[in-house]
Amino acid sequence: MKLTKEGDLLIAGIDYRKEVPVVCCMTGQMQEPEYVPMEFSRPCGKNACFRKILSTLKKYGAKEKIRAVLVLPDMSEDSIRQYIQEACQAGFDREQLKVISEAESIADFVMRQSNDIWQHRVYVLGFEPETVRAVCVRVNKRTSPMLVQVEEPESWRVGTLLEGGRDEKLAEYIGDRFSGEPVSAVFLTGTDLNAADYRKSREALCYRRRVFLAEQICARGACMSMTEEKRQYLFLSEQTLLYNVAVRSRRGGKESLYTLAEAGENWYEVHKEQEMILLGDSVLELAFQPMLGGEAIRAGMRLNDIPKRPEGATRILVELHFSGPAQCEVRVTDLGFGELYPASDLYWMDTFTLDEEEETAYGAGSDLSEPADEDRIYGGTDRTESL
């Protein structure tokens, strides 16, 4: 691993799915992440591991230039908070840390390969003593942007080499799972797939598709998720927002939607703030646009008891975050308008639960599926912030 140039970010992918983390690094000058070998004492607490990782990374770049992407085994809110806390106590700053799932790291790894790799389904096969862990990646190229979905892992029980029959069982799984839709590429971890032990399965695996030996896929994919190259795809998972969240507004005399949160973001990382000027009735109208297509879901909040002021003399602060992938929490605060119309300290809160099957949004607010022409929100100063 080379030292970073001045101004370059040092991006570290930390695969923490097992007791001992695996670390890869890359800079803006590198085409591919590099594995960073580290020896951890066993047992090794999270705090001690993070300290060692940070100490090693500082050999290659200044601390303020380090960015770390964690791949965790459990994406619950409590687990994420615990790992972030341990990393911060070890010396990382919160702004340096990002958390993604195993599935997202695999998607980023696959999608950073050449287009011919993901023309059809892609499999990642992890070889373990008695099983092979299979993960399938699908890319829908008919949408714009493309949609990437990583299926739930399967455990193929193939037995050990000593027991015999491992090669034959693996070949059967490959024949069964790879039939039907084409598979354009396979990435293997934990094996060299030597011809002596895997004659039949090797032949089945390599038939009319590209096969790669690839270790540290999740750590490498985590690095790639932070590169400056803009994503040309949206990743779908249980942690992903499936809707663009927008506010109905008027700009230059024309009605439009001002996007607050974009589909494809991880719900637990979304925290948005936006100042706006309220026009017309005291209503904030939200539009939830499904990323998979279909009509936008409209819902609204009536700002009851907001002080009466002249047209365009009421500023509001709209704050939005998610408490789950389909639970949108909105808070609106009256900011007044300078010294002439001071803030009232009033605020309104509502939760919108998105029902994917019935395409509705439930909340205490008003149903604005057929909005009145006079209801207007005007977008003002951008105060967007991501956790």
Q: Quick one: 29 and 83 in the same domain?
A: yes
Q: Write down the pTM of the prediction.
A: 0.75
Asked if residue 223 and residue 111 are part of one domain, the reply reads: yes
Domain end marker among 236, 268, 284: 236
pLDDT at 376: 34
Are the beta carbons of 302 and 366 closer than 8 angstroms? yes
Q: In what order do the strands lie in the sheet with 327-336?
A: 360-362, 347-355, 327-336, 315-324, 271-280, 375-382
Best CA proximity match to 139, nearest among 181, 77, 175: 181
d(CA 87, CA 93): 8
CATH of the domain at 194: 3.30.420
Greater model confidence, 22 or 243 = 22
The residue from 82, 100, 118 where one domain ends is: 100
Cβ contact 5:27 at 8 Å: yes
- Is 173 in a helix, a strand, or coil? helix
Q: At 87, is the pLDDT very low, low, confident or very high (cuts 50, 70, 90)? A: very high
Same domain, 78 and 155: no
pLDDT tens track for 250-307: 776 777 889 999 888 888 889 999 999 988 788 899 999 887 777 888 888 999 999 9
Q: Which range of residues forms the domain containing residue 259? A: 243-382
On average, the pLDDT of the chain sits at 86
Domain boundary among 51, 72, 100: 100
Side chain identity at 148, as an amino acid letter? V
Claim to verify: residue 175 and residue 194 sit in the same structural domain: yes
Judged against a pLDDT cut of 60, whether residue 359 lies above it is answered with no
- pLDDT, one tens digit per residue, over 14-70 is 999 998 999 999 987 888 999 999 998 877 899 999 999 999 999 999 999 999 999
201 within domain boundaries? yes
pLDDT at 63: 94
If asked whether residues 39 and 119 sit together in one domain, one would say no
**Model confidence over 321-330: pLDDT tens digits?**
998 888 899 9
Describe the chain by its helix, strand, coil percentages, rounded to 5: 20, 40, 40
Q: Can you tell me the mean pLDDT for 158-182?
A: 95
Residue 60 shares a structural domain with residue 139: no
Q: Does 125 lie in the same domain as 24?
A: no
Task: Give 69-85 pLDDT, tens digit per residue.
Answer: 999 988 888 899 999 99
* Residues 87 and 163 reside in one and the same domain: no
